[in-house]
Each structure stands twice: as structure tokens, then as C-alpha cells.
Amino acid sequence: MLPNLIGFDALAMSAFFSEIGEKEFRARQLLRWIHQRQVSDFAAMSDLAMSLRGRLPSLARIAAPEVVRDHTAADGTRKWLLQVDSTNAVESVYIPERSRGTLCVSSQAGCVLDCAFCSTGKQGFNRNLSRAEIVGQLWLASRLLAESGLEGRAITNVVFMGMGEPLLNLEEVVPALRLMLDDNAYGLSRRRVTVSTSGVIPGMDQLRDECPVALAVSLHAPNDALRDKLVPINRKYPLAELIKACRRYLERAPRDFVTFEYVMLDGVNDSPQHARELLGISARIHCKFNLIPFNPFPDSGLRRSPPDTVRRFSEVLQRAGVTVTVRRTRGDDIDAACGQLAGDVADRTRRSAAGRVIPITEVHA
């Protein structure tokens, strides 16, 4: 199959043109056509030599995932189900706000980590997405939003908070990040691109060294005993080691804090005592907490914390001087809210007799 240039960063694009005997500046031209104008037809790239436009279709292609479903929620949130191969589809979500537009992208078909509150993990894991499949989500969303009449730059922020654990796919995620940051492509600020992890410490260190962007950590519990149940990878990378990794990351991060995401589960992790335990964590790392109302999905066995419980929990943290935000639920009427993305995945994960995913901790990027 011909190489898919939608996933080529600047170095890869330069190497491609060098191999076919063209000058390096052609790489910058093609990056702009593909990512700034969302053009996939080589013939339409008018500042390329006509002879080159004639050659390129036999040498390469520009292809994004195929849209299977396109839903818009009452609040304007838009979710796409995207076919990435004959057996797998993933989901991307666009969240419009007054001052910004955020695209939530997926990095894997499914997820191996099986966090208790996340619908994606319940369907298991099939494979990592390629860099073309990751960047293709941004390319496609930019094109479709422009076609729907949104003026200017509709997407100002990208978050790797869709399906999958990004730090278990860094071989593909890092080149995708570089494209998103490249001024000849999307030109996003490092502060406006966020990678979320459940706490894969080797991946945190690698991302810090290769392409540090804003970091969010799915915390969800203030102690190891509870986090072992809610976020099983904690059994391999416990909280003390996770906090040390966060401190290392901040040495090179574009922001001077880590965002800890904390899903509020009724009667599970939402008591004032849990909040007081979190103060011990906040004392060891410059951070802010993003409290997330749990978004139900079938057979989860979990409930959303009542608003008064969330308020009291937040007040404990705020009175101690900790920065706290409460995420507004968006797109839950189309199952596009946090933790609800499910897609359609050919599960290759080993499962127990009870049907629970057995985390494959030896999977690395």
C-alpha cells in the first residue's frame, strides 16, 4: 500500500521528497496543503510543479479515517465514529466553547487498562492506532467543521483523552504530536495540547524527553488501596512513584502544574476524608484537580456523586489553597462525555472467566 502522507511529520516528509529526488522545500509546501488547507488531491496543490503533481498519486496517498457516524448533541458537542480498518472503529469528539474549541482524539482501538469507570476499557483492546490514524482525526475534524460553516480556527486545543492509553503507543503518538505543533501544519501551542495518562511511568519519562506537552493524570483515588481497584495499572506503578514521575515531567513541561483528573463516584471516592487525603498529594506536587461527574454506561455498577457531595469535596480542597475545577458534562446525550467513548473494536484482550479484562502490562509503545 502506498505511504499515507497525512501522518508524515517534517522529518519524514523531507526524507520522502529526498528519496524521490525533490528539493526539501517541497516538504513544507505539502505539509501546508495537507494540514492547513485539508487538501487531499495532489492535482489541486497549485504551487507544486505540474510534473510533480502528476507523479505523486503513484507514489503516495492522503487518507483520513472514514466517517461511519456523525452526531451532534444539544449543546453543540459533535462526535464522530471513524472506521480505521475492516474490524475497528474509534471515536473523536469536538467540544465547542466560547473561547476555544477542543478536539478529543483516540490513540488506540480499545484500551487494555480496564479502569472501573470507563466504558472504553470494558470492550477490551485490539491495536494501537498509527500516526496517520491519530492525525487523521484532527485533519478530518478540521475539514468537516470548516464545511459546516465554522469560521476561523475551530480547533484551538487537542486532548489525548479519547479511546486508549496514549503512553502505551508513543511510537505513533510522538510523531502525531510533532505534526500538531508544527507551524507548517496545525501550529498548536504545547500548552494547548494535552496528553492524559493513567500513570504509565516509563511513557511519562519518554514523553518528557521527546515531546513535552501539557500533562493530565487520571488519578481518581487518594490512596493505593482504592486506586488499585479503580485504576488497575496502579498495582504496577503506585502513587508514590507516580508523583515522582510527575515531578520529573514538570522539569520540562510547558505548564508549571500537572492536572489530576478525578471522576466522582458516589460512595466510592467522594467523601471529605478522601478529599483530605488528596491534600497530602497536592503538598508534594504543583497541581490542580479537575473533578469529573461520572458519566454512566451499562453494567458499570457505579453512580454519579450528587452535586452537594461534589461541592463539599471541592470545598475541602479549595480551603487548603488547591486549585479545583468541576468539569461540565458535555455531549452525554450522544454518549460523547468523558468515559463514555466505546467505538467498535475487535477485542484481542485476554479476559477472565468473569469477563473482566486482564491488563497486559507488558504492552509498551
Residue positions annotated with a catalytic role: 91, 338
Alpha helices by DSSP H, listed for the chain, are: 10-19, 25-31, 50-55, 119-122, 131-147, 170-181, 201-210, 224-230, 239-250, 272-282, 307-319
Rounded Cα gap, residues 195 and 215, in angstroms? 5
Rounded Cα gap, residues 193 and 173, in angstroms? 12
Cell numbers that stand for 295 in this block: 458519566
- CB proximity list for 42: less than 8 A, separation 6 or greater: 48, 53, 56, 57, 62
Q: Cβ–Cβ contacts within 10 Å for residue 70, how many? A: 12
Pairing status of strand 125-128 against strand 157-160:
unpaired
DSSP H or E stretch at residue 325: strand 323-326
Reference 277, options 327, 230, 249, 239; nearest CA is: 239
Q: What angle do CA 274, 277, 279 make, to 5 degrees?
A: 120
Rg of the chain's alpha carbons, rounded to an integer? 21
Q: Cβ–Cβ contacts within 10 Å for residue 101, how many? A: 20
